[in-house]
Each structure stands twice: as structure tokens, then as C-alpha cells.
Structure 1
Amino acid sequence: MQARLLLEDGTLFTGSAFGAEGETTGEVVFNTGITGYQEVLSDPSYCGQIVTMTFPLIGNYGITRDDFESVAPYVHGFVVRRHETVPSNWRAEYSVDTLLKEYGIVGISDIDTRMLTRLIRSHGTMKGILTTSAQSVEELRERLAASALMTDQVSRVSTKHTYNSPGARERIVLIDYGAKSGILRELTSRGCDVVVVPHDTTAEEIRRLNPDGIQLSNGPGDPKDVPHAIQTIKELLGEYPIFGICLGHQLFALACGADTEKLKFGHRGGNHPVKDLATNRCYITSQNHGYTVKDDSIAGTELEITHINNNDKTVEGLKHKKYPAFTVQYHPEAAPGPFDNSYLFDEFLKMIADHKQQKPAKPRQAELAAAVKGAR
């Protein structure tokens, strides 16, 4: 079956369909990862996007239950040069084609993904329509022009109910803006008592959980589309240690008076070099974001830039000069990807321990179950 991808600049790609039949619209982006297509497909930060993989062979090691970053894929479409229908991997349970069919995701293969990537790099991310239908190009163009990019992605991907992953150490409230499983995995592997709450949980509801620290998760879209999250962070700042990742980093910056802007084509891949300004060390990072904190907006705030991207010098890390809070634009929980940055979770726990020494801990016996129940 034939599939077509039409971009808003009029460029048309015709290739082979795989995955589900149908039609979808979204922002067309590219990811430069050589491995990790399953994690890309299941990363909630891709909600509303048609993802192009620059690596030419996708699906060669199949799909495995244990490698999902969320319970279901959130991409709107999948674009590859070639997809492998018969994966070779002892862990593989089924193919990419089967996964896309199961979740109703349209895919297109056998197109020039290098040309598509160069177009996006030259002109920026574009709206696109991906279809297996036989409609005329003019009809597709009209449908694309009439469509709008999503602005409510966070509400779509965030958990709807509060839940607890018990642990014996620090209690961390993880605000879920589209959290990858890797964040929960890193926290629980350190013995943390993690309470995951919806994106619209208020500061007062979080206080009732009596946390030791607040984790701001990754998530999709424009941070300015979730103003309630910015307000919640403002109210919690200074009360609890805070660690933000990706969208959480951007929301934290906005809460502190900085500004954000859209990148031309974003950072999506597993090999982005980031410089730690305190040590001059370069870390290889996994990234997935289309927005960035404006560096010239940091002046006049109580924020300090801690990391920058070595490719384009964009802001990759912040810390608060007065309160125990720091954030990074990249993904220290990345899997697959570089493990250089998982130490940041240890830094977060150390910050919590230091904060506790300065501020006596409150009793918190048996309140969690009632608070979680009340938040549901």
C-alpha cells in the first residue's frame, strides 16, 4: 500500500505504508538516534508529532515489552527510510509494524529521509499530513491548511490519578507532565518513596503529601501552554528542593521570571554534547525538545546558567542562586542513550539531605495513603 507525506511548504513524499491505515497531522520532526526507536515511539514528549528517524534501518531488533517509556506510544506518525519486518533479537516480541498497527499509528517507509531532514534543518519544523488514502494532493493540501497543531499535549499524556511507588528513603513528588518511565526507574532504584501526581495538581495538594523533594518531569509541547504548572512551581519554590528535566526545566525557568522560545528544528537524539560550566567537562546527552530557555532572559532573575549546548550554545542547565533547585534541558534518565548524567539524581538526593539539615523534618506517619486517596 502507498503512503504519502505532504509538508506545509508543498513538498510531497510518496513511499510505502506500514503500520495502521489512515491519516494523521502533526509537527514533522527528526531524531538522530541510531538505536532507541522504541523509546522514541513511547516517549510522551513526542505527542502530536510525526517523527522521522535519520538512521536508515529501523526495526532490526524489534519491540520488547520492557523497553517502553510509557504504557502506550504517543507519536502521531512514523517516518523511516526502511523498516525491518523480521527483527533479529532474542528479546524481540514483535515488530515495529505490529506495534503501529496495534495503536493506530500511520507509518511511511521507502522515502528519502535524508532529504526530509535537510528540509527541516533549512526551513525549520513544519506541519505535515501523513496518509494512506487516495485523496488528491489538492485535497490533502486543503486538509493540512485547515488543521492546527496541538496545544494540549500535557493534559493528554499526564497521569489522571495520583499513585505511589513505595520506597524507604526520601519521599519525592514527581509532577507528571508526560514523564518517561526512566525518571521513576532512577528514583526508585535509589530507594525513594515516589508519589506521581497529575500535571494540574495544586501546590496545596502537593504540600499535603509532605514531600522531601519535587521532581519536575519532561513532557511535550510549549511550556507556555501550561500556565497552571508555572504557578504551582512558583508557590513551591523555596519550600522544597526541586529538580527539573526538559519541560520541567523550561517551566522552572518561566516560574523564575526567565523566558522561552521555539528552536528552529529542536534537539532530538542521543549524542548531544553539553558543557558543565563549573568543571569545563563535556557530557554526551540524550535530548528531545523543541523549545529552549532564552539565555538573555536570565539576567535580572535569581537563576544561574550551569550548562550550555556545545553545538549551538543554548541553555542546558540552571540553578537557583538562593533556593535548593536545579534543572537540566537534557535527559539524565535516558535509555537507551548515554549514562553519563544519571549522577544528577544523586545530586538531587544530596541537595535534599543538605536541605533537611538546615530545616527540621516534619512528622509524616501514615498520611501518604490518605493523601493519595484524597487526590484520586
Structure 2
Amino acid sequence: MNKKLILESGEVFLGEGFGANVDTEGNVVFTTAMTGYQELISDPSFCGQIVCMTYPLIGNYGINRDDFECIEPSMKGLIVRELCDFPSNFRSQMDLDEFFKHKGLSGIAGIDTRKLTRIIRQKGEVKAKIVDASVNNEEVIAELKAKAPFREHIQTVSTKTSYASPRRGKKVVLVDFGAKLGIIRELGNRNCDITVVPHTTTAEEILRLNPDGVMLSNGPGDPTSVPHALDMIRGVLGKVPIFGICMGHQLISLACGATTFKLKFGHRGGNHPVLDLRTNKVAITSQNHSYAVDSESLKNTDLEETHIALNDRTNEGVRHKIHPCFSVQYHPEAAPGPQDANYLFDEFITLMDEFKNKK
């Protein structure tokens, strides 16, 4: 299939389509991850986005049954320099092209991903569409410019009903804003009894479950699109320990009076250095977000900054000065990515123990 990628800003890239033979559109973003494409494809935080892989060869170890981060992918498309047709790995069950056809996803290969990445870095995230090579460019560009930004990302990926992953340990309520399975795996590895609830769950409903702790998950899009979540956070703050990841981090900050802003091209990849201001140690982290917390806005709140990104000095973590609550912008569950920050789940367990002993 001859396909082309058309950007709202006017650039056109010709390539070869793979996966389902359908048109697809979304915001184009890039990730610097060298491996982990299966986890990236199934990460709910990529909802509504067309992802450009900066590493040139993708698909070389196929798709397997174990590395998914959600059951149904919510990304819009994938852009690669070279697609591997014959994967080689003992766990591989199908190639990337076959998986995309099965899921109705569209991708494009054979384009200059380095040039595309430079355009995104210069212009920021732009709307784009993967279409048949015969389509009129100007018509697509006009269509993209006229279309309003999509904001219902969290509503799209959050679970609609509560469900449990029962164990014998501490009872944790995981509020799903687009939660990756890696969070459930890490809590399960620590024997937590997990109840996953929709993003619309109220503080009263959460406290009725009598949890030992509340986890606020990652998720896609703009944190200001779910104002009801701020009331929920304020309602549980101080009554139960809270740990937030990515979207959860931004929502905790907003609920405590800070503000957020949109990054020019976001942080995506598995090689982002983050400094812990308390220990002066650096962790290499996995990240995937378009928005960040304004560090200056934290000064008039009860939150203290605990982590910063060394690439651009943006905020990467906070801790509440009074209540048992902390959060990070990056992904300690690291799927895919380094496991430097995995210890934060242990800190959450310790926080729940300390809070229980104070009662």
C-alpha cells in the first residue's frame, strides 16, 4: 500500500503502509525509546496520537502475549523508518503488520523519521493524517486545520466499571485515568489487594471501600479535562495515603492549587534523567506526557518539589508537606524502560504502614 503522512503544517511524507488499509488521524508525537514498541503501542497514554519511533528498525522481535499494557490499543497510528517483516524471537507469535491488521490500526514505514522528529521539535505537536497516496494534499491539510482538538482522551480509555485483582495484602484503590497494566503488576508483586475504579469515582465511593491507600494512574491528554477528579483528590487527601503517577501527579498538583502547562513536544522515551532533590541522585526514567506542572506555581501550595528533569528542568515530582501524599511525573513501573525508579512502589507501601500505625 502506497501511503502518505500529511501534517497540518503542510509537510508531506510518502511511504509504504502497513496494518489495516484505513485512514487515520491524530497528533503526531515522537518517542526516543529504542525497544518496547509493543508496550508503547498498547499504552493508553498514547490515546489519540500517531507515534513516530526515532529508532530506525521496529518490529524485529515481533509481538507476544505477555508484554501488553492494555487489552485494546488506543493509539491512532505508528510511523517507522524500517519495518521488520521477519521477526526473530522465541516468544514472538506474530509480526507487527499482522497485529495492526488484527486491531484495525494503520501505520506507515519508509519515511525519514529523523526529519519528522526535527519538525516536531521545531513546531511542537501537530495534527496529521495517514492516507492513501492518491488523496489530495491540500484538502487534507484544510481538513486538519479546521478540526477542533480532541479532549475526551481519559473518558475514552478509563474503565467503565470497577473490577478487582484480589490478594491478601494492603487494599489499594487504583483510580483509572488510563492505567497501564504495569502499575497493577507492580502493586501485585507487593501483594496488594487492588480495586480498579473509573475516573468518575467520587471520594465518598473510594473511602467506602476502606482502602489502605489510593493510587492515581497515568493517562492521556490534558489534566484540566477532568475537573471532577480534583474534587475526588481533595476529598481523600489526608484520610488515606495517595501515590500519583504521570496524570495522577498532575491532578494532585492541580488539586492542591498548582497549575500545569503544555510542553512544546512532550517527554516520551526510556532515557530521561531525573534528579531526586532530596538525595541528589539521578535516575534514568521512562516518560510519556504532553503536559507538565509549573514549578513556580508550587511555591504557594502545600506541595514541595522533590524531582526535576535534567533535560529541561521541568518538574518531575512533588510531596505534600502535611498529608501522606506524593507523586512523580515519570513511570516507575517502567514498561518499557529502565527500572531505576521502581523503589517508589516500596515507598508507597511504607507510607501506608506509617499512616496505619499513627491511627
Q: TM-score, normalised by structure 2?
A: 0.99
Alignment partner, residue 300 of structure 2? 300
Q: Distance in 2 between matches of 1:114 and 1:24?
A: 21
**Rounded Cα–Cα distance in structure 2 between residues aligned with 1:196 and 1:166:** 11
Matched with 2:345 is 345
* Partner-residue secondary structure (3-state), 1:66: coil
Offset at 1:142? 2.4
User: Is the Cα–Cα contact under 8 Å of residues 25 and 147 in structure 1 kept in the other structure?
Assistant: no
Answer yes or no: is 1:44 the counterpart of 2:44: yes
Does the CA contact (< 8 Å) of 1:275 and 1:283 recur in 2? yes
Summarize deviations over 1:272-295 as a string: whole Å, max 9, x none: 000000111000000000000001
Q: Give the match for residue 150 of structure 2.
A: 150
Shift of 1:148: 2.8
- Name the aligned partner's letter for residue 127 of structure 1: K
In structure 2, the residue matched to 1:206 is 206
SS at match of 1:72: coil
Q: How does 1:223-234 map to 2 (within 5 A)?
A: 223-234=223-234
CA contact (8 A) 1:48 1:149 kept: no
Q: Distance in 2 between matches of 1:243 and 1:88?
A: 39
- Residue number in structure 1 paired with 2:91: 91
SS of 1:52's equivalent?
strand
**For 1:13-24, what aligned pairs fall within 5 Å after superposition?**
13-24=13-24
Matches within 5 A, 1:155-234: 155-234=155-234
Unaligned runs of 5+ residues in structure 2 are none
Mean Cα deviation higher: 117-126 or 174-183: 117-126
**Is this contact kept in 2: 1:23–1:133, CA < 8 A?**
no
Letter in 1 for 2:232: T
Equivalent pairs: percent with the same residue? 57
**Residue deviations 1:114-133 (CA, integer Å, cap 9, x gap):** 00001111111111111126
The whole-number CA distance in structure 1 between the counterparts of 2:25 and 2:303 is 38
What SS class does the counterpart of residue 299 from structure 2 fall into? coil
Q: Deviations over 1:28-58 (max 9, x none)?
A: 0000000011111000000000100000000
| In 2, Cα distance between equivalents of 1:137 and 1:92 | 38
Contact 1:32 1:55 in 2 (8 A): yes
Q: CA deviation at 1:59?
A: 0.1
Q: CA–CA distance in 2 between the matches of 1:24 and 1:327?
A: 34
Q: State the match for 2:236 in structure 1.
A: 236
| 1:217-296 matches, cutoff 5 A | 217-296=217-296
Q: Which residue of 2 aligns with 1:315?
A: 315
Separation of aligned partners in 1, 2:146 and 2:336: 37
Decide which moves more: 54-63 or 335-344.
335-344
State whether residues 273 and 282 of structure 1, in contact with CA within 8 Å, keep that contact through their aligned partners in structure 2.
Answer: yes
Are the equivalent residues in 2 in contact too, given 1:5–1:130 (CA < 8 A)? yes
Q: Which runs of 4+ in 1 moved over 3 A?
A: none
2-structure distance, mates of 1:131, 1:65: 30
The one-letter code of the counterpart of 1:99 is F
Partner of 2:27: 27
Partner of 2:140: 140
257-266 or 229-238: bigger deviation: 229-238
1:369 match: none
Give the AA of the match of 2:118.
R
* CA distance in 2: counterparts of 1:5 and 1:221, whole angstroms: 22
In the TM superposition, what is the alpha-carbon distance from 1:103 to its structure 2 partner? 1.4
Distance, in Å, in 2 between the alignment partners of 1:185 and 1:191 is 10
Match of residue 103 from structure 1: 103
Q: Which residue of 2 aligns with 1:73?
A: 73
Distance 2:79 2:150 in 1: 19
In 1, the alpha carbon distance for the partners of 2:145 and 2:327 equals 37
Cα distance in 2 for partners of 1:329, 1:302 equals 18
Write the letter of the residue equivalent to 1:244. G
Q: Tell me which residue corresponds to 1:371.
A: none
Match of 1:368 in 2: none
Distance 1:138 1:113 in 2: 22
Q: Deviations over 1:66-125 (max 9, x none)?
A: 000000111101100011111010100001111111111110000000000011111111
Check conservation: 1:258, 1:297, Cα contact below 8 A: yes
> Which residue of the partner structure matches residue 334 of structure 1?
334
Q: Give the drift of 1:296.
A: 0.7
Equivalent pair of 2:9/2:141 in contact (CA under 8 Å): no
Question: 3-state SS of the aligned residue for 2:300?
Answer: coil
Give me the whole-angstrom Cα distance separating, in 1, the residues matched to 2:20 and 2:92: 20
SS in 2 for 1:182: helix
Q: Distance in 2 between matches of 1:200 and 1:134?
A: 44
- 1:122-165: per-residue Cα shift (whole Å, max 9, x none)? 11111111112622112212221232332011111011111111
TM-superposed CA distance for 1:230, in Å, is 1.3
Q: What letter corresponds to residue 230 of structure 1 in structure 2?
A: L
Contact 1:173 1:206 survives alignment (8 Å): yes
How big is the shift at 1:243?
0.1
Structure 2 residue matching 1:290: 3-state secondary structure: strand
Whether 2:292 is the aligned partner of 1:324: answer no
Contact 1:106 1:131 in 2 (8 A): no
